[in-house]
Amino acid sequence: MEEVHSANAGLDLVESPTYAQPESLERAIAKLVLLGKQVGVSADQMIQVLESGFTVAELVVYLTVANEGRVCD
């Protein structure tokens, strides 16, 4: 039962953002969009990828690997 309680504690943080969290989220999204541009993936394409079932973490890994591939070219 204790594990469920701790898992729910993390959900509370997501559901009640502080003033600073939206600003951090905006900066993170802006950086993600810039990384996408570097590797030739538009924001609309990223949205489609997320809607197809990718998680945000998987999208970040994909863009990072694609960017590393560009650097090596």
Q: What is the pLDDT of residues 5-49, one digit of tens each?
A: 444 444 444 556 666 688 888 999 999 999 999 999 999 999 999
Residue type, 13: L
* pLDDT value for 34: 95
Going by pLDDT thresholds of 50, 70 and 90, the confidence category of residue 73 is low
Rg (CA), the chain: 16
Model-wide pTM > 0.85? no
